[in-house]
Amino acid sequence: MRIESKIPDVGTSIFTVMSKMALDHNAINLSQGFPDFMIDDAIIQLVHRYMREGHNQYAPMPGAPVLRTVIAEVVRTSFNRAVDPDTEITITSGATESIFSVISAFIGRGDEVIMFDPSYDSYDPSVRLNGGIPIHINMTESFGINWDEVRGRITKATRMIIINTPHNPSGSILSESDLLELENIAEQFDLLVLSDEVYERLIFDGVAHQSVLRFPVLASRSFAVFSFGKTFHATGWKMGYVVAPAQLTAEIRRAHQFVVFSVNTPIQLAMADYLREPGHYRGLGKFYQQKRDFFLNEIKGSSFEPIPSRGSYFQLVSYRTISSEPDVQMAERLTKEFKVASIPISVFYKDSTDRNILRFCFAKKEETLAEAGRILRGL
């Protein structure tokens, strides 16, 4: 049998590799982005209740109406934007499926899609699986976007720009002026914008999240992608949603219905109840800011140099005063010899840029962070 891989260069993701290495070497796992603490028992009770009440069959293809209605209210109060739950919101199997369905619906052979490195690992293969051409632009030294460079890279084939704020892996955020620049560019060159906002609630130091949904002109050509996995500490439940104007949503659903058809029913119903209470997500920035600060305090006095994290649950640190070895090697050594697993950020770059920086996930219990800090201070 002749097999021709469409994405032959794609191997096992670094997250799987590092998590396995952490397990094999009994290391503290600050590599993959997931919490190591329990989710709120109230959501578990709700899921349980809906299962027992018999809500165990297919949900409607775009998502449970009750959940979409609550999401519309959240979008209105959070971003001052009215969206129609029937035609502008689709519940997906995690943000990953939103991203894949959007790209499948709109990107075809030869379409160019601009993305910024370091970039989340699903964007590039999703574009290529659909015949598109990823155009990687490196972020600036401080993990911002040089919009003049973006203008210079746009061609007749450019169809979409993907942004991610708060940003994985760097923890940087886009400002209002960034979004206004993007709005200008998207309008001028008639581009679509895929805005990955899974860390919308994990934003620190009193700064407001700049969603594309806050900007009416930009929102008219954008897909805003969110994840309950991040917001409610339940990454394993794989539930997210995408908000886009009706015309665009109709196309997303054409893809979505053949990727998963619909997302699991009892969790959608439980999320609808849970999301009705703003207290369940409003305090999240403070909660994770405390964890960031706790971790920073734990590594104070070590030779690792933190790079400011303004959002997400990641903290970058430079180890350039400790070693000049490549970041992949450093991450491996740190896991095997010192028992703390991290992610080398060169893997998020198409050109493997290596600035001797590692990413640590601080979505962990204080005892986990304290133990990691003790080891890192000793290096």
Ligand X SMILES: Cc1ncc(COP(=O)(O)O)c(C=O)c1O
- In terms of CB distance, is 31 or 235 closer to ligand X? 235
Q: Which residue is nearest to ligand X (CB)?
A: 94
Rg (CA), the chain: 20
How many angstroms from the chain centroid is the CA of residue 374?
Answer: 29
Shortest spacing between CB 266 and ligand X, in angstroms: 18
The residue from 183, 196, 200, 273 that contacts ligand X (CB under 6 A) is 196
Give CA–CA dist 326/139, Å, rounded.
20
Q: Judged by CB, which is closer to ligand X: 172, or 227?
A: 227
Choose one: 155-163, 234-242, 317-325, 365-373; the region binding ligand X (CB under 6 A).
Answer: 234-242
Tokens found for residue 364: 């962990």
| Cβ 251 to ligand X shortest distance, Å | 20
Shortest distance (Å) from residue 78 CB to ligand X: 18
The half-sphere exposure of 137 on its side-chain side, counting CA atoms within 13 A, is: 22
**Residue 235 in the binding site for ligand X (CB under 6 A):** yes
Compare residues 235 and 335 and give the one whose CB is closer to ligand X.
235
Asked if 311 interacts with ligand X (CB under 6 A), we say no
User: Which residues are CB-contacts of 109 (< 8 A; sequence separation ≥ 6)?
Assistant: 131, 132
Q: Please identify which residue in 120, 223, 241, 288 interacts with ligand X, judged by CB under 6 A.
A: 120
- Phi, psi torsion values for 196, nearest 5 degrees: -85, 105
Q: Does 164 bind ligand X (CB under 6 A)?
A: yes
User: Residue 227 interacts with ligand X (CB under 6 A)?
Assistant: yes
Instruction: Measure the CA–CA gap between 141 and 307, rounded to whole angstroms.
Output: 11
What is the CA 178 to chain-centroid distance, rounded? Answer: 18
Contact at 8 Å (CB) between 360 and 317? yes
Does 85 sit near ligand X (CB under 6 A)?
no
Instruction: State CA 38 to chain mean position distance.
Output: 21
> Under 8 Å CB-to-CB from 332, ≥6 apart: which residues?
21
The number of residues that bind ligand X (CB under 6 A) is 14
Nearer to ligand X, 229 or 266 (CB): 229
- Contact with ligand X (CB under 6 A): which of 96, 170, 195, 346? 96
Shortest distance (Å) from residue 263 CB to ligand X = 11
When asked if residue 360 is in the footprint of ligand X (CB under 6 A), the reply is no
Cα distance between residue 106 and residue 114, in whole Å: 14
193: DSSP letter: E
Task: Calculate the CA 107 to chain-centre distance.
Answer: 20
Stretch 27-46: interaction string toward ligand X, x if CB under 6 A: ------x-------------
Q: CB under 6 A: which stretch of 90-98, 173-181, 204-212, 252-260 binds ligand X?
A: 90-98
* DSSP assignment letter at 167: P
Contact flag: residue 198 with ligand X (CB under 6 A): yes
Cα–Cα distance for residue pair 55/59, rounded to 1 Å: 9
Report yes or no: 365 and 37 within 8 Å, Cβ to Cβ: yes
* Interface residue with ligand X, options 85, 94, 171, 285 (CB under 6 A): 94
Residue 202 interacts with ligand X (CB under 6 A): yes or no: no
Q: Return residues touching ligand X (CB under 6 A).
A: 33, 94-96, 120, 164, 168, 196, 198, 227, 229, 235, 238, 240
